[in-house]
Amino acid sequence: MNNNETIRRFPCTVCPMGCELTVDVDKLTVTGNGCPRGAAYGVAEVTHPTRTLTTTVALRGCDRVVAVRTDKPIPKELLLPAMDFVRDYVAPENVQPGAVLVKGFMGTDANLVVTGK
């Protein structure tokens, strides 16, 4: 068995410490984490990775865009279809930061929310 297939190394992105995690994919054990959140992140990253989508959407009736993000991470495999969705999405012109644009975004329990103007 090739050790490279069962051991993965990557930084934890949960906090700015950036601990370098080593995850045994078969045993789902994590080393290098400075706290339990890193262990949970390490296991999730090799079993069902998720990402927070951060992007912009067009505003109706003008040439401007507004910053948006998902309020929870969504499955990584949904990022490309999600970008296809937001490319065609047009938000109301008067949306305010914090407004929920899409509930249950891409069939997940995350919402697409406005983060900027």
Q: If binding is defined by CB under 6 A, does position 92 make contact with ligand SF4?
A: no
**Binding residue (CB under 6 A) for ligand SF4 from 9, 15, 93, 116:** 15
Comparing every residue's Cβ against ligand SF4, the nearest one is 38
| Residue 41 or 105 having the CB closest to ligand SF4 | 41
CB under 6 A: which stretch of 28-36, 62-70, 71-79, 83-91 binds ligand SF4? 28-36
The answer to whether 27 and 7 have CB atoms below 8 angstroms apart is no
Cβ–Cβ contacts within 10 Å for residue 32, how many? 16
Beta carbon of residue 13, minimum distance to ligand SF4 (angstroms, whole number): 7
Q: How many CB atoms lie within 10 A of CB 73?
A: 14
* 16-24, 53-61, 87-95, 97-105 -> range binding ligand SF4 (CB under 6 A): 16-24
Q: Which residues lie closer than 8 Å to 106 by C-beta, 6 or more apart?
A: 74, 78, 81, 82, 85
- Contact in structure between 116 and 97 (CB atoms under 8 Å): yes
